[in-house]
Amino acid sequence: MWCCGSGGRGGRACGAVERAGRWRELHWITMTNRRTFLTAAMAAPAVLRGASTRSWAEIEKILASGNVKGRIAKDEVPTPALMLDLDLFEANVKKMVAHAKGHNRALRPHGKTHKCPEIAKYIVKQGALGACAAKLSEAEVFAAHGVRGLLVTTAVVGKHKIERAVRLAGVAPDTIFCVDNAQNAQDLNDAAGAAKRKLWVAIDLCVSGRTGIMPGAPAVALGEQIAKLGNLKFKGIQAYAGGASHTKGWEKRKAASIAAMTPAIETRAELNQRGVETPWLSGGSTGTYNIDSDIDGITELQPGSFMFMDTDYNIIGGKETGENYADFGNALTIQATVVSRPTDAHVIIDSGYKAMATDRPFVPLLKMAGVKFAFNGDEHAKVTSTEGALKLQVGDRVEVIAPHCDPTVNLYDRIYCTRGGQVEAVWSIAARGMAQ
Q: Express each pLDDT in 109-150 by its tens digit.
A: 999 999 999 999 999 999 999 999 999 999 999 999 999 999
Give the confidence band of 7 by pLDDT, cuts at 50, 70, 90: very low
pLDDT in tens, 409-421: 999 999 999 999 9
**Residue 307 carries which DSSP code?**
G
pLDDT (tens digit per residue) in 21-49 = 322 222 222 222 323 323 322 333 456 65
Within the chain, what is the greatest distance between any pair of CA atoms? Answer: 73
Q: What is the dihedral of CA 180, 186, 189, 193, to 10 degrees?
A: -170
pLDDT of residue 40: 26
Confidence of residue 365 (pLDDT cuts 50, 70, 90): confident
Contact criterion met (CB below 8 Å) for 137 and 156: no
Residues of the chain with CATH 3.20.20.10: 88-314
C-beta of residue 156 within 8 angstroms of C-beta of residue 200: no
pTM for this structure?
Answer: 0.88
E-state strands within 176-270? 176-179, 199-204, 232-238
**What is the spatial distance between Cα 56 and Cα 264, in angstroms, rounded to a whole number?**
55
Range list for CATH 2.40.37.20 in the chain: 26-87+326-428
**CA-closest candidate to residue 276, choices 212, 341, 342, 228:** 228
As a CATH number, domain 26-87+326-428 is: 2.40.37.20
Superfamily (CATH) of domain 88-314: Alanine racemase (3.20.20.10)
Those residues with Cβ within 8 angstroms of residue 60's Cβ, 6 or more apart along the chain or in another chain = none
**Nearest C-alpha neighbor of 63 from the set 431, 331, 428, 334:** 428
